[in-house]
Amino acid sequence: MIELYLDTADVAQTKRFNQCLPLQGITTNPTILAKSKQGLNETLKEMQDALGGKPRFHAQVVSTSIEGMVEEARQINELPYDMVVKIPATETGLAAIKLTKAQGIKVLATAIYSAQQGFLAALCGADYLAPYVNRIDALNGNGVEVVADLQLLLDQNQLPAKILAASFKNTQQAMEVMKLGIEAITLPVDVAAAMFAHPAVEPAVAQFGHDWKQAFGDKLSFES
Ligand code: G3P
């Protein structure tokens, strides 16, 4: 089954969606945490309380050198949660991914804008690959095509890396990549809400209520 994440540091929204969706956990990035004005430690603690059980958290390094990323990855991995360390798939990041994987730490290669970039990260041992679907589209690329090509390369080479598609502005983008059979996806809260917000749904449900009341008043179904 696909792993479903929310791409957010918003604890209230996480509580809301955890009630109605089978969330695997949360993905964050430095921009998301900066906007929330709450650091990683406090955010993870509150998210753990909000989600309960054993959620998986994806948290990104902010170091810019190979050694710095590797050490930061080690520290993130020591946090008392199921952590996946996000490392940008740059030249420096790929080197850090190789070294971090050699320590047995779970890694997500992030900021992926092309299939070949994601493929290299998978060859370096990344467990997850995060192609940025909407950002690719916004650059006149084709985010869905990049995900399809990347999945093809993973399959052809029998690489175990999972695509965790990220960066969505609408449900259509999310649907298109899910149809490709990807193994994980992270949605911003507005797109997650839009997934079940077809404008015809509420009127249909209201009509059921209206028709029932006309015929049976306040009786419940099993009382009729
Ligand atoms: O977590 C990184 C990725 O989801 C970026 O999303 O919306 O900033 O393009 P966005």
What CA–CA distance (Å, rounded) separates 152 from 163?
11
- Give the mutation target among 10, 87, 134 for probing the ligand 1 site: most ligand atoms within 8 A of CB: 134
Instruction: Outline where 25-183 has alpha helix (H).
Output: 30-36, 40-51, 66-78, 91-102, 115-123, 133-138, 143-156, 171-178
What CA–CA distance (Å, rounded) separates 114 from 11?
32
CB atoms within 10 A of CB 141: 15
CATH number of the domain enclosing 27: 3.20.20.70
Give per-residue pLDDT as tens, 148-198.
999 999 999 999 999 999 999 999 999 999 999 999 999 999 999 999 988
Q: Whose CA is nearest to atom 8 of ligand 1?
A: 167
Active site residues: 86
Q: Determine if ligand 1 sits within 6 Å of the CB of residue 134.
A: yes
Ligand 1 centre to CA of 8 (Å) is 10
- Averaged confidence pLDDT in the chain: 97
pLDDT for the residue numbered 58: 98
Ligand 1 centre to CA of 207 (Å) is 38
Q: Is residue 112 part of a domain?
A: yes
- Give the mutation target among 85, 86, 135 for probing the ligand 1 site: most ligand atoms within 8 A of CB: 135
Q: Is residue 205 part of a domain?
A: no
- Asked if pLDDT for residue 25 goes beyond 90, the answer is yes
Q: Determine if ligand 1 sits within 6 Å of the CB of residue 167.
A: yes
What CA–CA distance (Å, rounded) separates 167 from 223?
48
For the chain, give the number of residues. 224
pLDDT for the residue numbered 45: 97
Q: Is residue 99 part of a domain?
A: yes
Pair of tokens at residue 184: 């994980």
Backbone region of residue 25 per phi and psi (left: phi > 0; alpha: psi in -120 to 50; beta: other values): left
Total domains in the fold of the chain = 1
Q: Is residue 224 part of a domain?
A: no
Q: Is residue 149 part of a domain?
A: yes
- Asked if pLDDT for residue 8 goes beyond 90, the answer is yes
Q: Determine if ligand 1 sits within 6 Å of the CB of residue 108.
A: no
Percentage above 90 pLDDT, the chain? 98
Q: Is residue 216 part of a domain?
A: no
Ligand 1 centre to CA of 224 (Å) is 50
Higher pLDDT, 198 or 59: 59
Q: Is residue 221 part of a domain?
A: no
Q: Write out the residue range of the structural domain in which residue 159 sits.
A: 3-197
Ligand 1 centre to CA of 59 (Å) is 13
Q: Is residue 220 part of a domain?
A: no
